[in-house]
Amino acid sequence: MLYAPHDVLVRDPLTGRVRCHLCGDYFAALGAHVRRHGLNAAQYREATGLEKTRPLTSAEYSQQRSDLQRLTYQRSPATRARLATGQQMARTGELNHRAVTALSTRLPVLQNAQRTRLDAGRTTRSRRVRERARRAAEQLGYHDLDSCLRALYVDQHLGLEPLSHRLGVGRAVLRNLLTEAGIPLHATGDTGAAGRRARAVRNEADAAARVGTTDLATWLAARRAQGATMAELAAELGRSLPWVRQRLGVQSGVG
C-alpha cells in the first residue's frame, strides 16, 4: 500500500513537508528517513515511480541548503578554489566538450542495448504469430504448419488473402512463413482460375517426372496396390497428403 500516488511527491500545503509513500508521515527530507524502510534514495525513487533527479525534500529545506551552499562559497576560499577549475572549464566550453565526448562513448553501448531489446521483442512477436498460425493449421486438420501451407497454397492454389484469413496472420507475415517453409510465392495472376489450372497441370507434371512416369494415375494405383501408404506416396512425389488423397479419391482417414 502506498500513502501517496505513484510517481507523485505529495507536500503538506501548510508546512511544505513531503509525505513518505511507505508510511504516510511527513518530513523535511526523505533521504535519511527511507533508510528505516531498508531503502536508499535511489531505490525509493524507483519503488515509488519518482524521477531520478527529483529532490526528496520540502521547498523550505531545499532553500535552506541552497542558502547554506551560497554562504559557504562566499566565506570559504578553499571552496571557491575547488570550484574554480570547473567554472573555468564551463566558461571555455571544455566542460561541454567532455560531456559530449562521454555521451558519444556511451551512445553505441546504449544503442546496442536498445537494438538487443528490439530484436528480442521481434523474436517474441514472431514466435507468437507463428504459434497462432500453427494452431489455426491444426484446427484446419493439418499436423503442422508447413504441410498446411503446402496443401492450401501449393496444391489448392489458395491466394495470399484468403489463406492469411484462415491462418489469422497478415499477408506480410504469411509471405515470411512461406519463404521459411521453402515455398515459392505465386506469380502475379497465378491465383486466378486460369492460373490455378495452369499450376495444377504443372504440379502434376512435376510429380510424374519426379517418379519417372508419364501416367501418374496408373503409377499411383500400382504403388497403392503394392501396399505403399499415403505418407510414402506423398514423400515420393514431393506433394502433400491431401494432394495424393485427392488424386486417389480416398477419404482423409485412409493410411
Q: Could you give the 3-state DSSP secondary structure of residue 11?
A: strand
**What integer pLDDT is reported at residue 204 of this predicted model?**
83
Helix 171-180 and helix 94-139, axial crossing angle in degrees, nearest 10 = 80
d(CA 182, CA 153): 12
**What integer pLDDT is reported at residue 189 of this predicted model?**
52
**What integer pLDDT is reported at residue 202 of this predicted model?**
76
d(CA 204, CA 2): 71
Cell 479419391 belongs to residue:
249
Q: Could you give the 3-state DSSP secondary structure of residue 226?
A: coil
Spell out the residues 6+ positions from residue 244 whose beta carbon is closer than 8 angstroms to its own.
Answer: 220, 230, 233, 234, 237
219 touches 226 (CB < 8 A): no
d(CA 41, CA 55): 10
d(CA 49, CA 40): 14
Instruction: State the virtual CA torsion across 119, 120, 123, 129 in degrees, nearest 10.
Output: -120
**What integer pLDDT is reported at residue 226 of this predicted model?**
92
Amino acid at 192: G
CA 187 to chain centre: 31
DSSP 27: E
d(CA 141, CA 1): 51
pLDDT tens across the length of the chain (255 residues): 788 888 888 888 888 888 998 899 999 888 889 899 888 888 888 888 888 877 888 777 777 777 777 887 788 888 778 877 877 877 887 777 777 776 666 656 556 666 777 767 777 777 888 888 889 888 888 888 888 888 888 887 778 888 888 888 888 888 888 888 888 887 655 555 656 676 777 778 888 888 888 888 899 999 989 998 988 888 888 888 888 888 887 544 445
**What integer pLDDT is reported at residue 16 of this predicted model?**
83
d(CA 133, CA 166): 9
C-alpha cell at 181: 517453409
Per residue in 47-76, pLDDT tens? 888 888 778 887 777 777 777 778 877 888
d(CA 84, CA 81): 5
Exposure on the CB side of residue 137, measured as CA atoms within 13 A: 21
> If you average pLDDT over every residue of the chain, what do you get?
80
**What integer pLDDT is reported at residue 192 of this predicted model?**
56
- pTM to 2 decimals? 0.35
